[in-house]
Amino acid sequence: MSDAELPQNPTELADFGRLELIARRLVEGVMMGRHRSPFKGSSVEFVEHRDYYPGDEIRHIDWRAYGKTGRYYVKQFEDETNLRAHLLVDVSGSMSYAGRHVSKFQYARMLAASLAWLLLSQRDSVGMVTFDSKIREQIRPSSNRDTFRRITEILEATTPGADSGMADVLESILPTIRRRSLLILISDCFDDVERLCKVLQRCRHDRHEVILFRIAAPEEEEFPFDRPTQFRNLENLDDRLLVDPARLRKEYLRQYNAFAATLKKECGAIGVDSRRLLTSEPLQLGLGHWLAERMASQTGRR
């Protein structure tokens, strides 16, 4: 099967083969013709100033410091060999929702595996945490290719389960991340938005780059139900409620849209790169558009 024949429909894509194969083929497709890393430069950290000496490159002079002191100082950087990335994948009960399409978790794990393969292909270090109300599995960042196999095996063996607890999990793992890293969160973000954003702000304060992929099902955004329906709490299966969707739709959409808008606004305010991905949309397109925008923004900053 050629790259052009990789299924566009997420449900068919999930049935294409093992997760390892799907991730490799997805990355090959979206990165075709792109030779620059979408993550390059994230691992270069400013360390300190030192006096300028003849022979130093002028581009490294800190002109702001010169304006304040009248002396030439050069910025020194720590150029690390590997970017360290942590994939944080939500496996709480709400991620099992599928509607008419692939489940949010199936979509999330294809995305996580693809990002893992992309990072490892660039010789970067990648690790993963799966979580619901607590950490379920944890792989420390490594650039070893065996890491990819371990990540895909865990994702394939995982079944979404308990309540969500993204804010709690982030708070628990932050102290263990002692060096600047790239944190990639993959979740539906059904958590206390105010508390979640406070923890994300802490991540940014600790100099971590944060990328948030919010996975959503079309039914959650459209609420297309039109007859009495029994809704089940996927994080507590004994919790069921029979409702008239027509009476509930207006208030549900108001609250859902407020949640989505607040999360996006707060992420923008604290410098978190956030992106919503729908389970009905081809993952190739969503991932490809995001990577293209990321590389374009990096070029613009140079």
pLDDT range class, residue 43, cuts 50, 70, 90: very low
DSSP 51: E
Over residues 61-113, the pLDDT tens digits come to 888 888 888 888 776 554 444 689 999 999 999 999 998 899 999 999 999 99
Q: How many domains does the chain have?
A: 2
Please give the Cα distance from 89 to 151 (Å, whole number).
Answer: 11
Q: Quick check: 226 and 245 in contact, CB under 8 A?
A: yes
Are 13 and 125 found together in one domain? Answer: yes
pLDDT range class, residue 2, cuts 50, 70, 90: very low
Please give the Cα distance from 125 to 232 (Å, whole number).
Answer: 39
Are 57 and 22 found together in one domain? Answer: no
Side-chain half-sphere of 158: how many Cα atoms within 13 Å?
30
Which of 190, 252, 264 lies closest to 222, judged by CA? 252
Angle of the 146-157 helix axis to the 19-30 helix axis, nearest 10: 120
Q: In 10 A of CB 302, how many CB atoms?
A: 5
Are 65 and 151 found together in one domain? Answer: no
Over residues 185-207, the pLDDT tens digits come to 999 999 899 999 999 999 999 99
pLDDT at 160 over 80: yes
Q: Which residue has the tokens 């989505």?
A: 260
Residue 178: what are its φ and ψ, rounded to 5°? -90, -15
Are 9 and 65 found together in one domain? Answer: no
pLDDT of residue 92: 93
pLDDT of residue 228: 54
Is the Cα dihedral 195, 166, 193, 203 positive or negative? Answer: positive
Range of the domain at 89: 3-38+82-301
Instruction: Measure CA 51 to chain center.
Output: 40
Q: Quick check: 242 and 230 in contact, CB under 8 A?
A: yes
Percent of the chain with pLDDT over 90: 55
Query: What is the mean predicted confidence (pLDDT) over 209-231?
Result: 83
Q: Which of 8-12, 69-73, 124-128, 237-241 has the lowest mean pLDDT?
A: 237-241
Q: In 10 A of CB 125, how many CB atoms?
A: 22
Are 184 and 265 found together in one domain? Answer: yes
Are 226 and 118 found together in one domain? Answer: yes
- Flag whether the pTM goes above 0.85: no
CATH number at residue 127: 3.40.50.410
First to last CA, the chain: 39
Q: Quick check: 165 and 132 in contact, CB under 8 A?
A: yes
Are 89 and 178 found together in one domain? Answer: yes
Are 132 and 34 found together in one domain? Answer: yes
55 Cβ contact list (under 8 Å, min separation 6) = none
Are 220 and 289 found together in one domain? Answer: yes
Please give the Cα distance from 291 to 286 (Å, whole number).
Answer: 9
Are 33 and 70 found together in one domain? Answer: no
Which of 10, 221, 260, 263 lies closest to 114, judged by CA? 10
Are 112 and 218 found together in one domain? Answer: yes
Of 56, 79, 102, the residue at which a domain comes to its end is 79
Number of helices followed by number of strands (H, E) in the chain: 10, 10
Are 62 and 183 found together in one domain? Answer: no
